[in-house]
Each structure stands twice: as structure tokens, then as C-alpha cells.
């Protein structure tokens, strides 16, 4: 993606507004666990590698990763969600405390399993470690209605002082389209942008500002394979825009960049920012919706918000693991693009 001399000052001006924004994030808070080990030998018990653990860390994932990105972009982020009183849940809360992100609106439920994605990475000393296997731990049952109502109530109480509402729905039950519909009138009175990133239930949402699905999620929603058929992507994008009554739809396409759909406008193809060979795509979608939402909160047009999100996405996929983009990094990238 090239940034024109006309767009660059506008984009930099939007980034300067980030610290003045307050974003309410309602959604599924996930813990990403990374266990790094050095390959010691092959096991005698089975044809598998034995790793000597060298490092173990817990970082925010899912909606928590979007919140982490907002924090590193220097916005005021108010995460609303639920964690368990298990090790990874407590680890998430401690991580946010160290980043000065409030956990006041996060429920900690006894016996609840914090959704956790554990990635085991192996390699030799001084070599790049590669992911060997991922282990997911998930709650055995959905959240009860009382917990969901409490989360919605907390989100509603924050809307009067917010600049935007971001919904991160990973399918773990912290929220859904019906819960968001109850929040929409209050957000509409404040003219807040409401954005949604829904992994499995995108078609259930409607009358929001924008959504940021990736291409595979579009394909799954309509049961059609896009591949290199850009005309099909155009049709499906316009169809989804109308079906959900969105103002804008930003479809991410990996190394093929993004496509922005708006009402009564032709789709805008945005080439990938930076290299088209990603180092690690873990959590890139969270970065995209965080930057896109924050830019809209700061008064950006959909196109400028998409350009900033594309730039941030291109930066974050060049980092290992679940990562974020800082405001200085984004500023520097815009200046050099």
C-alpha cells in the first residue's frame, strides 16, 4: 500500500487523536499462552521430540488482544468481559494491571475456565522456534444469563462517556447479537460507531456501523469459495453489507490486502502494507478491528480508517506471537510509506 501526499497528513492527524478516545470493548477475553522449549532429543516412549522448557508467557488474546492493541495505541480502553479464577485468568488481570488497563469491568468467576490457547514452540538454541502443537482449553458450558446481563449492564453504563463500542465475539458467550441490539439505541443517541468482529455468528448482527471479517469467514457465511474470483468477492461483500445493514464492511484478505465496502460506493481494494510474506498472523484480526474502530472514534472516514488498519495489520504480522502495534510505530510507518 502506498500512501499519497494528500492522505499522509490526514492519517497522521487521526493518529494524534487516538489518546483522546475512550473505547468500550465488550467481548470474549482469551488468554494466549506460549511455551518455548529447546529440542533436547527424541523420546524413547514415542517418536516425538523432548523439549526442555525455556520460557512460558501469558498474553492477551481474542477480545483481550484487541484491548491490548487499543492500550498500546494510547487510547483509554474499557474492557468488559469475564475470566475465571484460574491461572490464565489471573494472568490476564495481572497483565492489564501492569499496562494500566482497568479491570474494573471484568468479571472474575469462580470455577469458570478462561478460554486459553496454548502454543508449544520448539527449536534449537539461537534458532527461530516453530509452533509444534496448539492446545485449546475452553469453558465446558456457556455463560449463564445473569452473567451476560451483568456484562451488558456494565457496557451500557460506560456508553455515555465513550467514543466507540467494539464487539469481539469469539463464540465463548460473553455477548451476542441480541445483547448488542439492546445497547444500540444508547450508542445511537451518542452517535458512537459500533464495530463487530464475530468469528462464527456474523450473520446474526445487524444495523451496526461496520464489521471486519476475513475472507474465509465470508466464504463460510455464504458457502462459496472466493479464491481469485474478485467478482464473486464483490458480490458477496455487497450482499453482506446490505443483509447486515452496515455502513461499511472491511474484508481482510491476508497477503492480498483488504477490500472496503461502503453504501452507494464501489468497493475499494487496498493492497497489503509492507511484505506479503507474514512472519506470524496470530491475532492480526484483533489489531485490525482495534485500529479501525479507534480511527472511526477519532472522526476518520471509512477509507482512512481502513488504510490505518491495513498499515497496522501489515506491521503486526511481521512480529512473532500475539503482538500489538504502538502509536509511534504506526506514525513512523505512515511517514515512510
Is 286 an annotated catalytic residue? yes
CB atoms within 10 A of CB 109: 17
- What SS3 state is found at 243? helix
Q: Is 321 left (phi over 0), alpha (psi -120 to 50) or beta?
A: left
Q: Out of 28, 86, 169, 286, which one is annotated catalytic?
A: 286
Nine-digit cell string for 80? 468488559
Per-position DSSP letters for 153-183, written without gaps between them: HHHHHHGGG-SEEEEEE-SSSS--HHHHHHH
Say how far apart CA 260 and CA 245 lie, in whole Å: 15
- What SS3 state is found at 132? strand
Alpha helices per DSSP H over the chain: 7-16, 63-72, 87-98, 145-158, 177-189, 215-222, 230-243, 284-297, 302-316, 327-336
Say how far apart CA 310 and CA 81 lie, in whole Å: 27
Say how far apart CA 163 and CA 138 lie, in whole Å: 32
CA 96 centroid distance within chain: 16
DSSP lists the bridge partners of residue 76 as 22
Q: Which residues belong to the active site?
A: 286
Amino acid at each position: 500500500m502506498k500512501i499519497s501526499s494528500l492522505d499522509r497528513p490526514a492519517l497522521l492527524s487521526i493518529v494524534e487523536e487516538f489518546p483522546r478516545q475512550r473505547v468500550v470493548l465488550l467481548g470474549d477475553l482469551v488468554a494466549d499462552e506460549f511455551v518455548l522449549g529447546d529440542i533436547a532429543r527424541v523420546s524413547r516412549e514415542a517418536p516425538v521430540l523432548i523439549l526442555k522448557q525455556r520460557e512460558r508467557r501469558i498474553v492477551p488474546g481474542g477480545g483481550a488482544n484487541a484491548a491490548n492493541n487499543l492500550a498500546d495505541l494510547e487510547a483509554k480502553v474499557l474492557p468488559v468481559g469475564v475470566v475465571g479464577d484460574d491461572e490464565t485468568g489471573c494472568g490476564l488481570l495481572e497483565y492489564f494491571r501492569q499496562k494500566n488497563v482497568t479491570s474494573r469491568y471484568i468479571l472474575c468467576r469462580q470455577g469458570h475456565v478462561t478460554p486459553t490457547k496454548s502454543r508449544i514452540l520448539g527449536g534449537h538454541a539461537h534458532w527461530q522456534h516453530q509452533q509444534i502443537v496448539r492446545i485449546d482449553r475452553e469453558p465446558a458450558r456457556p455463560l449463564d444469563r445473569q452473567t451476560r446481563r451483568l456484562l451488558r449492564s456494565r457496557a451500557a453504563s460506560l456508553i455515555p462517556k465513550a467514543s466507540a463500542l467494539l464487539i469481539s465475539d469469539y463464540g465463548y458467550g460473553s455477548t451476542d447479537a441480541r445483547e448488542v441490539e439492546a445497547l444500540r439505541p444508547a450508542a445511537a443517541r451518542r452517535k458512537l460507531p459500533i464495530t463487530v468482529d464475530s468469528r462464527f455468528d456474523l450473520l446474526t448482527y445487524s444495523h451496526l456501523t461496520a464489521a471486519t471479517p476475513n475472507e474465509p469467514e465470508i466464504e463460510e457465511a455464504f458457502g462459496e469459495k472466493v479464491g481469485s474470483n474478485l467478482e464473486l468477492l464483490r458480490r458477496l461483500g455487497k450482499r453482506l453489507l446490505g443483509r447486515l445493514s452496515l455502513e461499511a464492511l472491511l474484508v481482510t484478505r491476508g497477503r492480498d490486502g483488504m477490500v472496503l465496502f461502503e453504501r452507494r460506493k464501489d468497493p475499494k481494494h487496498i493492497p497489503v502494507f509492507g511484505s506479503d510474506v507474514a512472519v506470524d498472523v496470530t491475532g492480526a484480526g484483533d489489531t485490525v478491528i482495534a485500529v479501525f474502530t479507534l480511527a472511526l472514534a477519532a472522526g476518520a472516514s471509512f477509507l482512512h480508517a481502513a488504510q490505518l488498519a491495513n498499515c497496522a495489520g501489515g506491521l503486526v504480522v511481521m512480529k512473532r506471537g500475539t503482538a500489538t502495534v504502538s502509536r509511534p510505530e504506526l506514525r513512523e510507518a505512515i511517514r515512510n510509506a
